[in-house]
């Protein structure tokens, strides 16, 4: 978080005055992928990389926003029915609208923001941006009357209503609710969650970025969700006596009953989701017992499912996972929405140097580019800096 940079740009690009500074993190997710919109469990944590904004009400009804890293400036009226075109500004515009819907009387403001969440790496830079502005507007214009959960939902609604991504709640949840040193197990159906201190002695969590840019807008992400909903619809039609909202409500037997109707592809998607629900629970037990070998084994199983059944991996990421396996890394899988981005690896301390050297050299040799390595620290969620 480079506060000095944000402050100096804010002063330079507006009227020389300072405002309030807020920050929100990106996230990792240990296990529980594509389960959030299926009512299942996720296991994310906020990281020490995020979006930081400086913001000050300007006494008008116009938002003037400057994206420091892109050197791009956009203006829009708070009640503009359409909003700006550029993708980064649509997140801010969407949050303004969603906070207004939640009773916050948002007026015009000046803002400059910057981030150190790598873009397109599957670390939720967009959720960090949404959460940062949701938190800031709630503080500046709403006297913090909107609950943290509603800030999460405002971020998710921004993706749905203004950015074309029909995402679940994991990313915004992790960004808003994160706590230092703790992962969170969230039940996305009941919204109950628990903090899990995460300090795996003798292991490091390492992200390997394939530098294949992942972008959910316009990707088959929404199609995956549709496949899951289609399976639920067929199961519900067979069992009118019960209520089925998401795949979380469905059993393996019920899934098998509709196998021929829904077709192999949708069946495979649902099969992955049901398996992932079981895996997250197994990982919770393993973490409680300090059994990181089982955690790692489940991570590899998740990768297999995401690659073969859910089909959200790509050749480069599969290669990164195969290098991890060859090197004896405890656990590895593609992380986040997929279609590029990072693998998350649970690596024994003594293997770390060898693995990092190997993965860089082998990836470079095969794809002619070096993967990026991020050692993340589990950190605090959205907050005011000053």
Is the CB of 34 or the CB of 298 nearer to ligand GAF?
34
CB of 29 vs ligand GAF, minimal distance in Å = 6
Task: Give the DSSP H or E segment for 127.
Answer: helix 125-142
Task: Give the x/- contact pattern for ligand GAF in 108-127, rule: CB under 6 A.
Answer: ----------------x---
Find the part of the chain contacting ligand GAF (CB under 6 A) among 28-36, 199-207, 362-370, 373-381: 28-36
SS3 346: strand
Among the listed residues 36, 139, 150, 171, the single catalytic one is: 171
**CB 383 within 8 Å of CB 148:** no
Asked if 36 interacts with ligand GAF (CB under 6 A), we say yes
Residue of the chain from 34, 182, 277, 298 that contacts ligand GAF (CB under 6 A)? 34
Per DSSP, the residues of 234-272 read: HHHHH-TTS---SGGG--HHHHHHTHHHHHHHHHHHHHH
Binding range to ligand GAF, per CB under 6 A, among 29-37, 259-267, 281-289, 353-361:
29-37
- Rounded to 5 degrees, what angle do the CA atoms 150, 154, 160 make? 140
Q: Which residues contact 165 (CB under 8 A, 6 or more apart)?
A: 159, 216, 217, 221, 222
Nearer to ligand GAF, 225 or 234 (CB): 225
Cβ 185 to ligand GAF shortest distance, Å: 14
Which range touches ligand GAF (CB under 6 A), out of 32-40, 103-111, 147-155, 277-285? 32-40
Nearest to 336 by CA among 153, 212, 231: 212
Structure tokens at 191: 């919204």
Name the residue nearer to ligand GAF (CB basis): 109 or 300.
300
Residue 312 C-beta: closest distance to ligand GAF, Å = 8
Q: Which is nearer to ligand GAF, 28 or 262 (CB)?
A: 28
Q: How far apart are CA 44 and CA 64, in angstroms?
A: 33
* Contact flag: residue 272 with ligand GAF (CB under 6 A): no
352: which residues sit within 8 A by CB, 6+ positions away? Answer: 204, 206
Residue of 86, 188, 19 lying closest to 94 (CA atoms): 86
User: 112 or 205, CB closer to ligand GAF?
Assistant: 205
Judged by CB under 6 A, which of 14, 37, 133, 319 binds ligand GAF?
A: 37
Catalytic site includes residue 171: yes
Q: Which residues ranging from 127 to 186 are in contact with ligand GAF (CB under 6 A)?
A: 167-168, 170-171
By CB under 6 A, name the one of 337, 340, 371, 381 that touches ligand GAF. Answer: 337
Specify whether the CB–CB gap between 95 and 137 falls below 8 A.
yes
Binding span for ligand GAF by CB under 6 A among 15-23, 33-41, 85-93, 372-380: 33-41
Among 330, 376, 311, smallest CA distance to 34 is for: 311
Q: For residue 153, give Cα distances in angstroms to 18, 38, 305.
A: 29, 16, 28
Residue 89 touches ligand GAF, criterion: CB under 6 A: no
Torsion of CA 96, 127, 274, 327, to 10 degrees: 170
Q: Report the C-alpha gap between 62 and 79 in whole angstroms.
A: 9
User: Which of residues 6, 21, 33, 76 is near ligand GAF by CB under 6 A?
Assistant: 33
Catalytic positions: 171
Q: Which residues bind ligand GAF (CB under 6 A)?
A: 33-34, 36-37, 124, 167-168, 170-171, 336-337
């Amino acid at each position: 978080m480079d506060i000095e940079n944000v402050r100096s740009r804010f002063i330079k690009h507006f009227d020389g005055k300072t405002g309030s500074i807020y920050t929100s993190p990106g996230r990792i997710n240990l296990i529980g992928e594509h389960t959030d919109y299926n009512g299942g469990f996720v296991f994310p944590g906020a990281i020490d990389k995020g979006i930081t904004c400086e913001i000050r009400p300007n006494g008008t009804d116009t938002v003037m926003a400057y994206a420091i890293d892109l050197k791009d400036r956009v203006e829009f009226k708070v009640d503009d029915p359409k909003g700006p075109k550029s993708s980064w500004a649509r997140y801010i515009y969407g949050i303004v609208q969603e906070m207004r819907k939640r009773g916050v009387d948002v007026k015009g403001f000046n803002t400059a923001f910057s981030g150190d969440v790598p873009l397109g790496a599957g670390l939720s830079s967009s959720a960090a941006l949404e959460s940062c502005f949701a938190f800031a507007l709630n503080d500046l214009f709403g006297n913090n009357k909107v609950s943290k959960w509603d800030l999460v939902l405002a971020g998710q609604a921004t993706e749905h209503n203004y950015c074309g991504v029909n995402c679940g709640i994991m990313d915004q949840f992790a960004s808003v609710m994160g706590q230092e040193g703790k992962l969170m197990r969230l039940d996305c159906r009941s919204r109950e969650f628990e903090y899990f201190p995460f300090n795996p002695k003798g292991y490091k969590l390492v992200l390997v970025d394939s530098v294949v840019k992942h972008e959910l807008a316009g990707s088959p992400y929404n199609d995956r969700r549709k496949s899951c909903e289609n399976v639920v619809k067929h199961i519900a039609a067979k069992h009118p006596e019960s209520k089925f909202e998401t795949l979380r409500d469905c059993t393996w037997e019920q899934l098998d009953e509709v196998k021929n109707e829904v077709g192999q592809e949708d069946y495979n998607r649902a099969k992955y989701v049901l398996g992932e629900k079981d895996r997250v629970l197994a990982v919770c037990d393993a973490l409680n017992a300090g059994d990181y070998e089982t955690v790692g084994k489940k991570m590899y199983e998740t990768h297999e499912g995401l690659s073969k059944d859910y089909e959200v991996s790509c050749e480069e990421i599969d290669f990164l996972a195969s290098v991890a396996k060859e090197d004896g890394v405890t656990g590895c899988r593609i992380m986040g929405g997929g279609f590029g981005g990072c693998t998350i690896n649970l690596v024994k301390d003594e293997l770390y140097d060898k693995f990092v050297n190997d993965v860089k050299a082998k990836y470079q040799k095969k794809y002619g580019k070096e993967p990026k390595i991020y050692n993340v620290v589990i950190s605090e969620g959205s907050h005011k800096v000053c």
